[in-house]
Chain A
Amino acid sequence: MGELMIGLYVFVLATLAGREVITKVPPTLHTPLMSGANAISGIAIVGAIVVASSAEGTARTVLGVLAIAMATFNVIGGFLVTDRMLSMFRKR
């Protein structure tokens, strides 16, 4: 089985797993769900590190740094703001 097919299997199964898990998140937590899931999409930082670490040409390095900045903003901002919101959900 080629790399592409394995990737497709993984993608489809992960989507189904995500569907199962996320359908059960109550509406009251939908905003933190969105900002938290959003932080997870900052996983592109992994790709950005690979690009930025190569010293192939300046344009590529500049793009890598730009991608790292954007992805880190997404990751740090997303997880921190989600934590801040969730700390407000209290039961009295």
Chain B
Amino acid sequence: MNTHILVELIYLLSAILFVVGLKKLQSPATARGGNGLAALAMLLAIVATIVDTEILSWTGILIGMAIGGGLGGIAARTVQMTSMPQLVGILNGSGGGASAVVAVAEFMGNPAVGVGTTGVTILLGTLIGGVTLTGSFIAFAKLQELMTGNPITFPGQNALNALLFVGVIVLGWFVLTGGGGQDPLVWFYVFCGVAALLGVLLVIPIGGADMPVVISLLNSYSGLAASATGFVIGNMVLIISGALVGASGLILTQLMCKGMNRSLANVAFGGFGGSAGVDKAQIGKRPVRSADAEMVAAELGYVNSVVIVPGYGLAVAQAQHELRKVGDLLQERGVDVKYAIHPVAGRMPGHMNVLLAEADVSYDKLFDLDEINDDFGTTDAVLVVGANDVVNPAARDPGSVITGMPILDVDKARRVIVMKRSLSPGFAGIDNELFYMDNTLMFFGDAKASMADLVRGVRELG
């Protein structure tokens, strides 16, 4: 058989396996095998490329693979689950960056490409890949707290971004037509610079708590960059897998926006988190009922059903293992224990689920908002740990900054216990009515120490 046809068939098989692998992610039971299939698909695509390409020098290829593979292996093995958003951020950035660099190399191999499909897709690949690269590194720096997590804004920011977008189009035209009698390569270098700058400028005005949206969006971009590169080198498997990733990132972006009841435009240009019109001095000044670990243990240990609502504060305090022990002990006492996870409970989609899975919570105990919200009315007790805005009943009333945001209806349970450091407001900057309700008990303290106390409390119930 003709080698080229064989190569194309292997590419086709690879594309099929990518889709089947992603499909297997529809259930935790088959997901690991699905990831393996996707990895096999990647290996097949690489082998097909090596067979199909006349390789003049192996040295560079092997050096590149050794460096990238070594660093990737180390990062994957050593990363803490709490730092997963940072790792995914860098992975997005390097994927998008690789696509951009391939597009750049294609242009440098043929600077007189001219106006046409190849020229336009080279520029698209460079632009999207470049934005993904620098944008992801800013997102990483924010999450890793190498720079402020607060939105960085300045007057005329949106105007500057709009200007740069127009500039990119004009520059692109100059690159392809050799406008102004200038060497296309010079225009191209400026084009690359502006793409990199855009990535930085688009991410700096977005706050740390909005990072789930940004990471999802950059994930989508890294796919689109791969697709654009696929058009440049005429390779269908790049176009297909890029499209799959693009779709995945876009779906997750929409879900995250929905979880915060905000449009993508609002996240991108919003500067959310300022609480105009809220009297800050009044926050946390009203009386609450508070309880110690023994009382909380009694509230949880003698009932039929408990729902645990973990928030990001839990992960920050690294208290998920202690929390799981509380859940296990309650279960041993015959209490029906479930975990309710809000879509934006972590720093990226599904982050809290991974943190709980790491703490050995069985995945069939994890329920998302839609699955569990109708159950709160018949739940005996809810334990909220380190969550705030996502359980604020104000979201159901008109006139609040969080009005319309989907929340977990924990206030409908017979008893609510809120484990929190203080009455300070969450990201939205507003007071939480839940804390002052008759059926609420505040359990103040550091999450890790409090959960350890609660473990002892439940053990001593006898």
Asked whether, in the complex, the Cβ of A74 is within 8 Å of the Cβ of B251, the reply is no
Which positions 404-448 of chain B face chain A at CB distance < 8 Å? none
Among A43, A72, A73, which residue has its beta carbon within 8 angstroms of that of B237? A43
The smallest C-beta distance from B369 to any residue of chain A, in angstroms, reads: 8
**Interface 0/1 of A1-39, CB less than 8 Å to B:** 001100100111011111101111111111111111111
Asked whether, in the complex, the Cβ of A10 is within 8 Å of the Cβ of B239, the reply is yes
Which positions 224-262 of chain B face chain A at CB distance < 8 Å? 225-227, 229-249, 251-252, 255
Q: Of the 9-residue stretches B57-65, B299-307, B387-395, which lies at the interface with chain A?
A: B57-65
Q: How many residues of A contact B (CB 8 A)?
A: 83
Among A25, A52, A57, which residue has its beta carbon within 8 angstroms of that of B25? A25
B234 contacts across to A, CB distance below 8 A: 3, 7
The smallest C-beta distance from A75 to any residue of chain B, in angstroms, reads: 6
The smallest C-beta distance from A91 to any residue of chain B, in angstroms, reads: 5
B94 contacts across to A, CB distance below 8 A: 42, 70-71, 73-74
**Interface 0/1 of B23-57, CB less than 8 Å to A:** 10111110110111011011001100110011111
Asked whether, in the complex, the Cβ of A28 is within 8 Å of the Cβ of B28, the reply is yes
The smallest C-beta distance from B409 to any residue of chain A, in angstroms, reads: 17
The residue of chain B having its C-beta at the shortest distance from the C-beta of A5 within the complex is: B117
**Interface 0/1 of B93-112, CB less than 8 Å to A:** 01111110110111011000
Q: How many residues of B contact A (CB 8 A)?
A: 113
Interface assignment of B287: CB less than 8 Å from any CB of chain A: no
Among A37, A47, A52, A75, which residue has its beta carbon within 8 angstroms of that of B245? A37
The smallest C-beta distance from A7 to any residue of chain B, in angstroms, reads: 5
> How far apart sit A49 and B229, CA to CA, in the bound complex (Å)?
13
Interface assignment of B450: CB less than 8 Å from any CB of chain A: no
The residue of chain B having its C-beta at the shortest distance from the C-beta of A61 within the complex is: B60
Chain A contact residues: over half helix, strand or loop, or mixed? helix
Interface assignment of B137: CB less than 8 Å from any CB of chain A: no
Asked whether, in the complex, the Cβ of B232 is within 8 Å of the Cβ of A34, the reply is no
Asked whether, in the complex, the Cβ of B81 is within 8 Å of the Cβ of A39, the reply is no
A65 contacts across to B, CB distance below 8 A: 60-61, 63-64
Q: A48-B102, A81-B79, A89-B363 are in contact. Are A31 and B349 (CB under 8 A)?
A: yes
> How far apart sit A61 and B58, CA to CA, in the bound complex (Å)?
11
Asked whether, in the complex, the Cβ of A33 is within 8 Å of the Cβ of B98, the reply is no
Asked whether, in the complex, the Cβ of A67 is within 8 Å of the Cβ of B105, the reply is yes
**Interface 0/1 of A56-68, CB less than 8 Å to B:** 1101111111111
Q: How many A-B residue pairs have CB under 8 A?
A: 379
Asked whether, in the complex, the Cβ of B65 is within 8 Å of the Cβ of A53, the reply is no
B358 contacts across to A, CB distance below 8 A: 88
The smallest C-beta distance from A89 to any residue of chain B, in angstroms, reads: 4
Among A46, A70, A79, which residue has its beta carbon within 8 angstroms of that of B238? A46
A16 contacts across to B, CB distance below 8 A: 247
Among A27, A39, A46, A63, which residue has its beta carbon within 8 angstroms of that of B368? A27
Interface assignment of B73: CB less than 8 Å from any CB of chain A: yes
Instruction: Other than A38-B91, A74-B68, A90-B360, give 4 A-B pairs with Cβ distance below 8 A.
Output: A34-B350, A50-B233, A69-B63, A69-B68
Can you name 9 A-B pairs with beta carbons within 8 Å? A22-B247, A30-B349, A36-B21, A37-B245, A39-B39, A40-B245, A47-B229, A61-B57, A78-B91
Which residues in A have some Cβ–Cβ distance to B below 8 Å? 3-4, 7, 10-12, 14-19, 21-57, 59-92
Which residues in B have some Cβ–Cβ distance to A below 8 Å? 15, 18-19, 21-23, 25-29, 31-32, 34-36, 38-39, 41-42, 45-46, 49-50, 53-57, 60-61, 63-65, 67-69, 71-73, 75-77, 79, 81, 84, 87-88, 91-92, 94-99, 101-102, 104-106, 108-109, 117, 215-216, 219, 222-223, 225-227, 229-249, 251-252, 255, 341, 343, 346, 348-351, 353-354, 357-358, 360, 362-364, 366, 368
Please give me the 5 A-B residue pairs with the lowest Cβ-Cβ distance, nearest first: A30-B350, A72-B68, A68-B64, A77-B72, A18-B247
